[in-house]
Amino acid sequence: MIQVKESNTVKVNYTGKLSDGSVFDSSEGKEPIELTLGLGQVIPGFEAGLIDMKLKEKKTITIAKEDGYGAINDALIQEVQKSELPQDMTPEVGMGLVSKTPDGREMNLVVVEVKEATIVIDGNHPLAGKDLIFDLEVLEIKDTVIKE
């Protein structure tokens, strides 16, 4: 029977959960995800979990934070003066912000604390520092030629 190999393109149904059972993402009710292994389109642990799965096989994998979104990087948590924000903005905990890095890339930030004169922002991925659980089902496996 055909099994997923490192260069295959696969279609997968998935449900991603945290250790407390709360769902953070799912293909349920949507199109399954299609990805080519070896291209870094998903976190390493997700890709590794698909290797050797058979067509129509279902399984649950646990991905340690190191193979997911990594540990929390304290350097990405910073305190910013409210005076640096647009005047018409009223920051609230949980609010998303976008900042440009010196090299022009956009960085997603979340307000994690609002103080009198400052706010604390976090540039870590929301799933950083967390182990993840995925229910996977392989729906399609195609051989793929990866062009360098």
Residue 116 lies in a domain: yes
Q: What is the DSSP letter of 103?
A: T
* Mode of pairing for the β-strands spanning 106-114 and 96-100: antiparallel
Full-model pTM:
0.81
Range of the domain at 103: 74-122
Local confidence pLDDT in tens for the 148 residues of the chain: 789 998 899 999 999 999 999 999 999 999 999 999 999 999 999 999 999 999 999 999 999 999 999 999 999 999 999 998 888 999 999 999 988 888 888 989 999 999 999 999 999 999 999 999 999 999 999 986 555 5
Residue 148 lies in a domain: no
CATH of the domain at 23: 3.10.50.40
Contacts of 127 (CB under 8 A, 6+ apart): 24, 68, 69
Q: Are residues 14 and 64 in the same domain?
A: yes
Q: Are residues 21 and 57 in the same domain?
A: yes
